[in-house]
Amino acid sequence: MPKKIREEVFNRIIFAKKLYKDGEIACNIENDQMIFAKGLLLLHDATENVLGAIADHVGAKLTKKDVYILEYFDIIKETDSQKKTLPYMTQIRNLNIIRNNIKHQGIFPDIKSNTYLPSTVYQLITDICQTYLGLDFSSISLKNLIRNKKVLKFINIAEKKIDNGKFKEGIFYLSFAMYYTCESISTFEYYLFGEEKIKYTEPYGSNKTIDLLQNRVDPYLYHRFKNLTPLIGKNTKTGKLSYWWDKSYGHPANWTEQNAKFCLDFCIDTALKYQREKNEGYSIIDYQYVFEDIIEPVGEEAIFWNQSIYPPEITLPTIQKPLGPREKVFTLKKGKLMVGYAFDNKDSLDEWEVLCHDEEITKIPFIFVAKEEVKVTRKKR
């Protein structure tokens, strides 16, 4: 019976799974030699982390500070009371040679002859985790790496429901986790501009497919997830969420353990893929997170209007009311000011579109004013 796994050992296994997942994704891109090489480096690191964790767990005495990946095979065997030989040493030796060629000589691997390595590494890690830790590597969840607290909240609820055999409820809560992962933006503009109604997400459009591909999510699997889960809708005035479950697939025959676990694993994987790394060599901050604008008249007054002086070339009947006449909303007198955000547009450079923070001035989300009539001063929030 394997002894209890210490927290630091388990954390190394979790980290190794993240490295493996990233490596597997990179190795699936078989038309880019550098990305494939990056994937193999990640697989090497995943293997080394697992071997190091197991050596620590079995109580191996490391006689030197830096232990090379192949040395772990003998170290673990010598410490093990049964002297079991670890599998796949030949394949890991080949992986190590490839890693050294990449890092030290700039020699990139042949893709075609090395596509077997992700599955071999996975099999090695799975075997030794089960043998020495009594741990099913495939069952290790990466959910604790998710930084979005709303997403993690719903995933935790769903996981508990599934563990208790409540598969329908687990699948239900995962629909909200996915909504906060990558779907909520599709209801945002309707929330700002639309008439009061329930606006549901649209998972099958071309824009959504592009978004999924940009974040390395398989659209086919995403659509299967959407078949199994309800659509989430938002009230365009109150912002309250609701759901609609298509009877075609939302029925007891589909509320199975297999489908619930598929939805859970896919949701966690998608959340991690949409979660960009914190340090990617740049830092882009939206204006509204840092600043707000102080808007005041240049002359005696500034007139604000309900719509732009430039009518849109195309209207969207699903979210826009008929424009009607252009009307004054209010007049800002000299000595008064407004706090909000002023934005311009490349097609109307002589006009500000203003989002006003003060509902006592106007409850219209966006109003318009000629640039020549106002002074806009940036202020740190």
Dihedral over Cα of 209, 211, 212, 213: its sign: positive
227 and 302 in a single domain? The answer is: no
Residues 174 and 117 occupy one common structural domain: no
200 within 8 A of 178, measured Cβ to Cβ: no
pLDDT at position 190 over 80: no
pLDDT of residue 44: 98
Predicted pLDDT at 185: 79
pTM: 0.61
pLDDT digits 0-9 by tens, 65-98 = 789 999 999 999 999 889 999 999 999 999 999 9
Residue 319 in any domain: the answer is yes
Q: Are residues 338 and 270 in the same domain?
A: no
Q: Which of 88, 89, 79 is nearest to 55 (CA)?
A: 79
Query: Quick one: 267 and 152 in the same domain?
Result: yes
For residue 254, what are its two tokens? Answer: 């589909």
376 falls within a domain: yes
What is the DSSP secondary structure assignment for residue 88, as one 8-state letter? -
Residues 11 and 129 in one domain: yes
The tally of domains found in the chain comes to 3
In this structure, is residue 174 part of a structural domain?
Answer: yes
Mean pLDDT along residues 14-30: 91
Quick one: 101 and 25 in the same domain? yes
User: Based on the domain organization, do 369 and 305 belong to the same domain?
Assistant: yes
Confidence of residue 289 (pLDDT cuts 50, 70, 90): confident
Q: Which of 6-20, 123-137, 314-328 has the lowest mean pLDDT?
A: 314-328
From the number of C-beta atoms within 10 Å of its C-beta (0-12, 13-18, 19+), residue 181 rates as buried
- In terms of domains, do 45 and 91 share one? yes
Q: Is the pLDDT of residue 319 over 50?
A: no
Residue 1 covered by a domain: no
pLDDT digits 0-9 by tens, 249-282: 999 999 999 999 999 999 999 998 898 766 667 7
Nearest alpha carbon to residue 262 among 176, 183, 154, 170: 170
Pick the residue with more confidence: 281 or 23?
23
Residues 66 and 86 in one domain: yes
**Average pLDDT in the 109-129 region?**
96
**What's the mean pLDDT in 330-338?**
92
Residue 361: pLDDT band (50, 70, 90) is: confident
Domain contains 309? yes
pLDDT, tens digit (0-9, with 9 covering 90-100), for 201-224: 889 889 899 999 988 899 999 999
Residue 89's domain spans which residues? 7-139
- Same domain flag for 227 and 335: no
Is the same domain home to 237 and 332? Answer: no
Q: Does 2 fall in a domain?
A: no
**Mean pLDDT, rounded, for 153-172:** 97
